[in-house]
Amino acid sequence: MTIGIIDTGVDYTHQRLKMCTINGITLFKDSLGNIITKNEDFSDHKGHGTGIASIIKSHLESCNLYVIKLDSHNSFISEDLLTEAIFQMINTNVNIINISMGINSEIIPEKMQKAVNTCHEKGIPIFAANYYDSTKQCFPANFSNTFSIGTGYIKEKQKFKVLNNDFDIIAKGGFQRVAVPDHSFAFSVGTSLATAHITGIVCNAYTKNEWKTIPDLKKWLKENSDESIFSLTKHDTAVTRNLLSIREYIKEDIQALDSLLKPSEKIKKTALFPFDEKEIQSIIENKEHSEYEISLIIDTPRNIINKEKNTRDIPLKKKLEDDDFSLFDTLITGYFNDLKDEVNTLFGLNLIRECLLRNKNFILWDHSVKDIIRTLIKNENIDYKGDIFLTHIDNKIKKKIYANISCSFEATIPSICVIGTNSRQGKFTTQLKIKKILESNNYNVSFISTEPQGAVLGADSVFPFGHKSSVNIDAEEWYHVINALKNYSKQKKNPDILITGIQSGIIPKYPVYANKLPEKLIYTNAFYPDALICTISPDDTLDFIERTTSAVKSYNFCEVLFYCLTPWVIKHEKGITLKVKLSSEEYQGKLQFFSEKLNKPVIDIKDDNNSDLIIKQIQNYFKK
């Protein structure tokens, strides 16, 4: 058989590939958009394709490979370049195609879909890597005629699991050693590697005449699927899409919603894991807002950068003794399976196992972690009696919300929404700071958080639609659910004011084509704030700040109360994101510049001297 590989090329001289016959071409896209074919040239200067080929070969004694290397004048792999490669593979007599890459897009690429469907009609299966976050669309993996590959917790490379959809598979994508050019090796991780493993597995079965057609292959995959495997990337998470077509609003019962929207009241003492995660850092930084005692921080064994970060006198441990488990009744667990180091991931799995055996409660914001917990309970027959709370909104919760509280909200309570021009500007910190200032002035404040850690830091409810969103309801339902959450806050606290905020920037910094309204605008439109507070960055242009606020104001009758300027500048250099802090003089200069140009107060939200200004701006606005 011949195996097709679409990638960055292959170093055919590598010792891992010495039993392979390798041919191929390069498809190069020039600055004019022309795609040029370079025959018999498929050398790998990036290293990715060589690693993929070496993994496939590891399942076979020998193999024939046909490589299509993708390259361009700016090193960007575009949709049309990948599509052309798939079409060209059809005419090369390959028996299977491995694509350990993909294009992230909200719009279905129709030409690429046609290429994939043609392969399917000709009996050529395509195995393609899904995006690490399975909630994001990735093509060709998300086409119905493609085998879409995620990564799971798998020790043996020959193992895999077929999910409910016959075309969704999880395979070994954890930390592993792979070949790279110049006879070298490197460690890598991801769905790209998982894709290569499953390609190698099914090619081995093909050489043994265990399948010959795609229907045969699907049957073989099901018969050999290992059901004990669980995903590390939510690729085995079911997403419901049912709409509630008729809503009947019955007697309001907020007590029925408390256990759905808030963690258990029996939670008293908590431990945080993993230490280095942004959401966990936010809890530590704002621990005075926590509804629970934070008695312990747990770090991963191979983290070496924690010395830069303040624990605020909370004990920090990398190894737990039996006595340490008595310090907490609940483990607050973040996105621990995002950790790229397999040692750290295994540490997290063992920590969860030990907590389950001791009936510790869990507060989670990653659905895949809850799935891991369920799998451990089932596979290891753990008699677990604790509580598990996941910050999420799905159709099940939506229906209970509709059944217990009105989705019609009368705009009688003043409301503020914190928006921003970019990520990492302290929008969540701004919300907590304003809440604290208002409460210190005897205002009763309700808080709806879009950050999952809001469930720990005093939010009435959480609508976590940002990073790794766990909001799984259709966009048209957002208006009703968010209004219901506002009513829930109203019934629960009878607040003087409502506060919320978004994650990241409200609009893209550079123009993009989109066929639907961005989620952040859907949220702000549904919340319908009376006033805005906008976080900005030192390198923002005045035009972009204006476009950001205008985007929200075009859907809502609201005004900006003031701006909050972060002292940090985000820079992207050679694929690395860097945060650079302005000097005190530079920061003061930027504060003065933006205050003059924006004709509104521009402040440092962390400066307590601004508390009186914040209160006056809010009071004066709502006196109008």
CB 421 within 8 A of CB 535: yes
Q: How far apart are CA 76 and CA 218, in angstroms?
A: 34
Pairing relationship of beta strands 35-39 and 96-99 according to DSSP bridges: unpaired
The residue type of 166 is: D
> What is the bridge-based pairing of β-strands 361-364 and 330-333?
parallel
What is the rounded CA–CA span in Å between residue 450 and residue 141?
29
Residue with tokens 């058989």: 1
Annotated catalytic residue: which of 100, 192, 368, 446?
192
The Cα-based distances of 322 to 66, 333, 372, 386 in angstroms read: 55, 19, 23, 18
Look up 80 and say whether it is catalytic.
Answer: no
Q: Which amino acid appears at position 273 of this protein?
A: F
Which residues are within 8 A (CB) of 33 and not within 5 positions of it... i.e. 6 or more apart?
Answer: none
Q: Reduce the DSSP state of residue 266 to 3 states and report it.
A: coil
φ, ψ at 300 (rounded to 5°)? -80, 150
Asked if 539 is an active-site residue, the reply is: no
Which strands form 497-501's sheet, in the order they lie side by side? Answer: 461-462, 445-449, 497-501, 415-420, 531-536, 559-565, 602-603
In order of 60, 64, 198, 358, 553, the CA distances from 205 in angstroms are 10, 15, 11, 43, 59
User: Beta strand 559-565 with 531-536: parallel, antiparallel or unpaired?
Assistant: parallel
Residue 149 DSSP SS3: strand
CA–CA distance, 270 with 328 (Å, rounded to integer): 5
Place of tokens 């747990």: 298
DSSP secondary structure, 446-513, as one string: EEEESSGGGGTTT-SEE---STT--EES-HHHHHHHHHHHHHHHHHHH--SEEEEE-SS-SS-SS---
Buried b (16+ CB within 10 A) or exposed e, 418-437: bbbbbbebbbbbbbbbbbbb
Per the listing, tokens 């991801």 go with 190
Residues 6+ apart with CB under 8 A from 608: none
| Residue 57, both tokens | 């070969």
Q: Which two tokens stand for residue 329?
A: 């009744």
Single out the catalytic residue among 14, 48, 59, 235: 48
Catalytic-labelled residue, pool 7, 44, 387, 540 = 7
Q: Is 14 a catalytic residue?
A: no
Q: Which residues are catalytic?
A: 7, 48, 192
